[in-house]
Amino acid sequence: MIHRPLCRTLTAFALILAITLPAAAVEGGIDLAGMDTSVAPGDNFFLYTNGGWIRNTEIPADRSNYGTGAILSEQIETEVAELIKGAADAASSDVETRKVGDAFAAFMDEATIEAKGIDPLKRGLKQIKAIADKKALAGYLGSTLRVDVDVLNSTNLHTDNFLGLWIAADLDQPIRYLPFVLQGGLSLPDREYYLDQSARMTDIREKYKAHIVKMLDLAGIEDSAAKAQRIIDLETKIAKLHISRADSEDAEKGDNHWSRDTFVEKAPGLDWAALWEAAGLSDQWDYVVWQPSALIGEASLVGLESLDSWKDYLAYHYIDSNSYLLPKAFADERFAFYGHVLSGTPQQRPRWKRAITVTDTELGEAVGKLYVAKYFPPESKAAVQAIVANLIEAFGKRIDHLDWMSPETKGKAKAKLATLKVGVGYPDHWVIYDGLTILKDDAFGNAQRASQFDTQRKLARLKQPVDRDEWVMNPQLVNAVNLPVLNALNFPAAILQPPYFDPAQSDAANYGSIGAIIGHEISHSFDSQGALFDASGRLKNWWTDADLAHFKASSVQLVKQFNAYKPFPDLAINGQQTVDENIADLAGLSVAYDGYRQSLGGKEAAKVDGMTGDQQSFLAFAHSWRTKMREPALRQRVLTDGHAPGQYRALTVRNLDPWYAAFDVKPNQELYLSPRERVRIW
């Protein structure tokens, strides 16, 4: 949901795509056929590296975007589908494996879902209708509070539940867990979708209203048009209260400790005692409120807005959030708005792909256990661990050689590096799903029970010591993460394979691709937000004032660099919004280059198809950011994501001196930066 202080994601790769790269096109980790050598690397390195692929590749009809991570995810999805189907067919499999098969089978059983119609909704809608006063409203909000806002996912700023909740280590005392309470209540991607008065956003809001009307009609709710307008009006009031992405990603602004009494004193309008009791938090005294002004405003709205408006709002959100589990008409309408209108995707994914996503959501680590057993051998884990060790050593040498960092800060940085815990492939301890009931004929109920099971499992952490071995990503996810409060990294098995990592390809390519990704995550422990967390994970700035001032001044240069990139005439990249991720890309590529050169032991790398080792490394880096996006999806990414789109991340190379030598980049070329203009942080 919110901030990178608690966790940094590499990018938001979905586990859904449609084709694979032709294996013959890739040699030594470099896709020669996908390049466009008619473009000078110094004019547009992204197109030079990926232009042939872009020209010859269509985004699959069921995708809003397509690229390297998506292609790999498609491969993994197919592999996982076979594993799940095998689980469904294996009558003698263990209980957990049968649950995986049954969850998949339940979602695939369209006939049963159609036959049930809207019956699964009736109990929840009846509860909403029975809300008689504002105390009962608070109780309902508490009973439906779920640990569904991942503060470890920087691509999200809110939940469509009224409030967001996450359980994470306390930033001030990282030996204990606390509940983090966050702004929520919006169905559209960001506050700007409600407040921006441009023709494009106005059109989206009109289509959103039509979507609400359709959902209410499908559920048999009367007076749908008037109710839809009241729902949009209420969501718009909530949107005006939400704070910006930039502020939401600031750990110091978000670290607000409130007691139960503080909620009553500072946020009147909502019966907090009734909410906490219904949420199962009646004995919890301490909380972290990440966006206090938004929370205060939302609580006030509970008191000010009519009960009927809230009941309309809750009924719609209940229907809409569960629509993918209902008959085809509901699922199709959900896709028509969220998939087609908001992301520009022409065609809904095949049902089996959606079933994989549902099963991953409900039983993620059970699926992951099956995946790594077949597709992630011990030798792959050992090879990646060796690269990680080399990169940590290279990062330490970079710290030693910084001429702008004081010995005091260097010492604390090295101490933090020494205690960094790196998880490779999969967790040491798996989630146990014994308490979760999965039925082969109840897709709706499975999702409800899985959500409740996950919430209760995470709430139970509040009475447990903090686990530094904790994983926040499934092994079958193409992604990577930094967890500053735990001073830990997770690299799921899925990303540790071609094209990102391949023992058969050159070391230069491996370091340029997976090495830069690993370096990216390492560097997050030492950037403008990582500087706020010491080696124990405590929110405590360990930099001297002079060192932090130098770091921030260098960051300003990178902000200006990315502000100049404009994917559309009316929309530029927000350099400040993406600055932490851009710094991590720069640091990651720099340390990966050092690690690669270090691995050569003073020798030069062998050429591959005429390419030097340095060329291979930089090309592999740009290949890893290969992407195409539909216009609505790209606009949404620019507005809401803390990561720049891939075509701009690939241009990070222009800040590294060796890139200029490797590709003979000249001062008159578009990407050329004078040595003084090149951003040098690490």
Contact 291, 183 (CB under 8 A): yes
Give me the sign of the Cα torsion angle 355, 361, 363, 369: positive
Q: Please compute the mean of the pLDDT values over residues 566-571 and round it to a whole number.
A: 95
Lowest average pLDDT, out of 63-77, 329-343, 529-543, goes to 529-543
Instruction: Enter the pTM of the model.
Output: 0.89
Q: Name the region of 63 (left: φ>0; alpha: ψ -120 to 50; beta: rest).
A: beta
- Identify the pLDDT of residue 246: 75
- If one compares 4 and 453, the residue with the highest pLDDT of the two is 453
**Is the predicted pLDDT of residue 25 greater than 70, yes or no?**
no
**Is the predicted pLDDT of residue 26 greater than 70, yes or no?**
no
Superfamily name and number for 8-81+376-436+464-663: Collagenase (Catalytic Domain) (3.40.390.10)
Cα torsion at 57, 62, 68, 74 (round to 10°)? -120
Phi, psi of 40 (to 5 degrees): -70, 130
In angstroms, the CA 13 to CA 463 distance is 33
Using alpha carbons, select from 4, 80, 28, 147 the residue that is nearest to residue 480: 4
Place of tokens 């159609």: 114
- Identify the pLDDT of residue 152: 43
Reading the block at residue 169, the tokens are 């280590």
Cα torsion at 603, 608, 612, 614 (round to 10°)? -80
**Is the predicted pLDDT of residue 52 greater than 60, yes or no?**
yes
Phi, psi of 458 (to 5 degrees): -75, -35
Where does CATH 1.10.1380.10 sit in the chain? 118-325
Place of tokens 């815990």: 421
Fill in the amino acid letter for 518: I
Give me the sign of the Cα torsion angle 552, 642, 397, 415: positive
Summarised one tens digit per residue, pLDDT across range 315-324 is 999 999 999 9
Phi, psi of 436 (to 5 degrees): -100, 125
Q: Give me the helix-helix angle, 95-108 and 443-459, nearest 10°.
A: 130
Rounded to a whole number, what is the distance in angstroms from the first to the last CA of the chain?
A: 28
Summarised one tens digit per residue, pLDDT across range 366-410 is 999 999 999 999 999 999 999 999 999 999 999 999 999 999 999
Reading the block at residue 241, the tokens are 């209260």
- Identify the pLDDT of residue 153: 45
Summarised one tens digit per residue, pLDDT across range 450-469 is 999 999 999 999 999 999 89
Reading the block at residue 33, the tokens are 């056929």
Helix, strand or coil for residue 636? helix
- Identify the pLDDT of residue 505: 87
Percent of the chain with pLDDT over 90: 81
- Identify the pLDDT of residue 4: 33
Lowest average pLDDT, out of 292-296, 341-345, 541-545, goes to 541-545
At residue 504 the predicted structure's pLDDT band, cuts being 50, 70 and 90, is confident
Contact 333, 218 (CB under 8 A): yes
Per-position DSSP letters for 598-618, written without gaps between them: HHTTTSPPPPBTTB-HHHHHH
Per-position DSSP letters for 564-603, written without gaps between them: T--SBTTB---TTTTHHHHHHHHHHHHHHHHHHHHHTTTS
Q: Please compute the mean of the pLDDT values over residues 95-112 and round it to a whole number.
A: 95
**Is the predicted pLDDT of residue 57 greater than 60, yes or no?**
yes
Q: Show Cβ contacts of residue 329 under 8 Å, excluding neighbours closer than 6 positions.
A: 218
Lowest average pLDDT, out of 8-22, 120-134, 202-216, 528-542, goes to 8-22
The helix or strand, by DSSP H or E, that contains position 310, with its residue range, turns out to be helix 307-321
Fill in the amino acid letter for 47: L
**Is the predicted pLDDT of residue 19 greater than 90, yes or no?**
no
Where does CATH 3.40.390.10 sit in the chain? 8-81+376-436+464-663
- Identify the pLDDT of residue 160: 75
- Identify the pLDDT of residue 91: 58
Q: Please compute the mean of the pLDDT values over residues 47-52 and round it to a whole number.
A: 97
Q: Which contacts of 459-465 are long-range, i.e. CB under 8 A and separated by 24 or more positions? A: 459/147, 459/167, 459/179, 459/280, 459/281, 461/167, 461/177, 462/167, 462/177, 462/178, 462/179, 462/284, 464/177, 465/175, 465/176
In angstroms, the CA 100 to CA 216 distance is 32
In angstroms, the CA 97 to CA 239 distance is 42
Summarised one tens digit per residue, pLDDT across range 618-664 is 999 999 999 999 999 999 999 988 899 999 999 999 999 999 999 99
Q: Please compute the mean of the pLDDT values over residues 154-178 and round it to a whole number.
A: 81
Give me the sign of the Cα torsion angle 111, 445, 150, 470: negative
- Identify the pLDDT of residue 150: 56
The helix or strand, by DSSP H or E, that contains position 118, with its residue range, turns out to be none
**CATH label, 118-325, candidates 3.10.450.40, 1.10.1520.10, 1.25.40.10, 1.10.1380.10:** 1.10.1380.10
Using alpha carbons, select from 308, 327, 4, 324 the residue that is nearest to residue 150: 4
Helix, strand or coil for residue 422? strand
Summarised one tens digit per residue, pLDDT across range 599-613 is 888 899 999 989 999
